[in-house]
Amino acid sequence: MNLSPDGAADKIGLSRVRARLVELTESEPAARRAERLSYSSDTKKIVLDLKVIGELQGCLAFDDPIPYTPNADLSPILDLARPEGAALNTELILEVYHAERTTRLLHSFLVSRSEKFPSVAARWASLEPDKGLETAIERVFDDEGRVRDDASPELQRIRRDLLKTRQNLRNRIAAALSSAIEAGVAADEQPTIRSGRMVIPVLSSGKKRVTGFIHDVSSTGQTVYIEPQDCLDLNNQIRELEAAEKREIDEIRKLLTNLIRDRSDSISSNGELLIQFDLSLSIAKLGNELDATAPRINQEGIVRIVNGRNPELLLVYRARERKKSVVPLNLEIGDSFHTLVISGPNAGGKSVAMKSIGLMTAMLGMGIPVPVNEESTFCLFDDILVDIGDEQSMDDDLSTYSSHLENLKMMLKDAGANSLVLIDEAGTGTDPDEGSALARAVLESLTARKTRTVVTTHHGSLKVFANDSDGVANGSMSFDVNTLKPTFEFRQDVPGASYATEIATRVGLPDDVIQRARELVGTERVQLEALISSLEESNRVLDAQIHETEATLRQAEKDREQLTERLRSLQEGKEEIQKRAIEEADEIVGEANRVVEKVIREIRESQADSRRTRDARADLEKARDHLADDRVRLERRIKSRAGAKRKSGSPVGAFKMEDAGALKKGDQVLLDDGRAVGEILSLKGKEASIAFGDLQTRVLISRLTKVGEAAEQQVIVRQTVDSSPVLPLTTLTKRIDVRGLRVDEAISRVVAHVDQASVASLDRIEILHGKGTGALREAIQDFLPTLDSVSKIEQAPWNEGGAGVTFVYLSE
Confidence band of 402 (pLDDT split at 50, 70, 90)? confident
Rounded Cα gap, residues 415 and 364, in angstroms: 20
Least confident of 321-325, 365-369, 432-436, 591-595: 591-595
| Residue-averaged pLDDT of the chain | 82
For 436, which DSSP code? H
pLDDT of residue 775: 80
Query: Is the omega angle on the peptide bond into residue 5 within 30 degrees of 0, that is, cis?
Result: yes
Mean pLDDT value of segment 499-504: 73
In terms of pLDDT, which residue wins out, 217 or 693? Answer: 217
Q: What is the pLDDT of residues 298-326, one digit of tens each?
A: 999 999 999 999 999 999 988 877 667 88
φ, ψ at 322 (rounded to 5°) = -100, 135
Q: What is the pLDDT of residues 406-428, one digit of tens each?
A: 899 999 999 999 999 999 988 78
pLDDT of residue 534: 63
pLDDT of residue 653: 39
Mean pLDDT value of segment 206-223: 85
- The DSSP line for 623-683 is HHHHHHHHHHHHHHHHHHHHHHHHHHS--TTEEE-SSGGG--TT-EEEETT-S-EEEEEEE
φ, ψ at 422 (rounded to 5°) = -125, 120
Nearest CA to 12 out of 355, 316, 349 is that of 355
Residues across the chain? 812
Note whether 691 and 681 are within 8 A (CB).
yes
Mean pLDDT value of segment 271-280: 97
Rounded Cα gap, residues 21 and 297, in angstroms: 22
Task: Give CA torsion, residues 795, 799, 804, 806, to 10 deg.
Answer: -30
Q: What is the pLDDT of residues 753-773, one digit of tens each?
A: 887 787 677 888 999 888 777
Whether residue 594 is predicted with pLDDT greater than 80 in this model: the reply is: no
Note whether 594 and 623 are within 8 A (CB).
no
Rounded Cα gap, residues 398 and 683, in angstroms: 82
pLDDT of residue 195: 83
Whether residue 173 is predicted with pLDDT greater than 80 in this model: the reply is: yes
- The DSSP line for 109-167 is HHHHTTTTSHHHHHHTTT----HHHHHHHHHHB-TTSPBPGGGSHHHHHHHHHHHHHHH
pLDDT of residue 470: 93
pLDDT of residue 568: 76
Positions of CATH 2.30.30.30 in the chain: 649-730
Whether residue 725 is predicted with pLDDT greater than 60 in this model: the reply is: no
For 219, which DSSP code? T
φ, ψ at 117 (rounded to 5°) = -125, 70
In terms of pLDDT, which residue wins out, 386 or 743? Answer: 386
Select, from the ranges 154-163, 185-194, 708-717, the one with the highest average predicted confidence (pLDDT).
Answer: 154-163
Residues 6+ positions from 746 with CB-CB distance below 8 Å: 738, 769, 776, 779, 780
Rounded Cα gap, residues 668 and 29, in angstroms: 75
Nearest CA to 57 out of 284, 381, 296 is that of 284
Rounded Cα gap, residues 155 and 147, in angstroms: 10
Whether residue 512 is predicted with pLDDT greater than 70 in this model: the reply is: yes
Mean pLDDT value of segment 659-663: 59
Mean pLDDT value of segment 517-530: 62
Positions of CATH 3.30.1370.110 in the chain: 732-810
Portion of the chain with pLDDT greater than 90, in percent: 42
Q: What is the pLDDT of residues 632-643, one digit of tens each?
A: 555 555 555 444
Opening angle at CA 389, ends 302 and 400, nearest 5: 135
Positions of CATH 3.40.50.300 in the chain: 296-509
In terms of pLDDT, which residue wins out, 210 or 530? Answer: 210
Tell which CATH classification among 1.10.1420.10, 3.30.300.30, 3.40.50.1000, 1.10.10.10 matches the domain 151-253. 1.10.1420.10
Beta carbons within 10 angstroms of residue 447's beta carbon: 19
Q: What is the pLDDT of residues 450-464, one digit of tens each?
A: 999 999 998 888 988
In terms of pLDDT, which residue wins out, 142 or 495? Answer: 142
What's the predicted TM-score (pTM) here? Answer: 0.63
Select, from the ranges 225-229, 384-388, 401-405, 479-483, the one with the highest average predicted confidence (pLDDT).
Answer: 384-388
Confidence band of 738 (pLDDT split at 50, 70, 90)? confident
In terms of pLDDT, which residue wins out, 791 or 700? Answer: 791
In terms of pLDDT, which residue wins out, 591 or 439? Answer: 439
Rg over CA atoms, the chain: 43
Rounded Cα gap, residues 106 and 271, in angstroms: 12
Residue 326 Rama label (left phi>0; alpha psi -120 to 50; beta):
beta
Positions of CATH 1.10.1420.10 in the chain: 151-253
Rounded Cα gap, residues 795 and 781, in angstroms: 10
Whether residue 247 is predicted with pLDDT greater than 90 in this model: the reply is: yes
Rounded Cα gap, residues 315 and 349, in angstroms: 17
In terms of pLDDT, which residue wins out, 684 or 793? Answer: 793
Least confident of 93-107, 197-211, 255-269, 307-321: 197-211
Q: What is the pLDDT of residues 52-105, one digit of tens each?
A: 999 999 999 888 899 999 988 999 999 999 999 999 999 999 999 999 999 999
Spatial strand order in the sheet of 192-194: 192-194, 197-203, 223-228, 212-217
Tell which CATH classification among 1.10.3470.10, 3.10.620.30, 3.40.1110.10, 3.40.50.300 matches the domain 296-509. 3.40.50.300
Least confident of 148-152, 403-407, 662-666, 791-795: 662-666
Question: CATH top-level class for 649-730?
Answer: mainly beta
Confidence band of 648 (pLDDT split at 50, 70, 90)? very low
In terms of pLDDT, which residue wins out, 518 or 465? Answer: 465
pLDDT of residue 656: 44
Portion of the chain with pLDDT greater than 70, in percent: 80
Nearest CA to 341 out of 217, 465, 195 is that of 465
pLDDT of residue 395: 44
- What architecture is domain 732-810? 2-Layer Sandwich (3.30)
Confidence band of 500 (pLDDT split at 50, 70, 90)? confident
End-to-end, the C-alpha distance of the chain in Å comes to 58
Rounded Cα gap, residues 362 and 126, in angstroms: 29
Rounded Cα gap, residues 296 and 54, in angstroms: 13
H-helix segments, 320-422: 350-365, 397-414
- Angstrom CA distances, 483 to 491, 505, 794, stand at 18, 11, 55
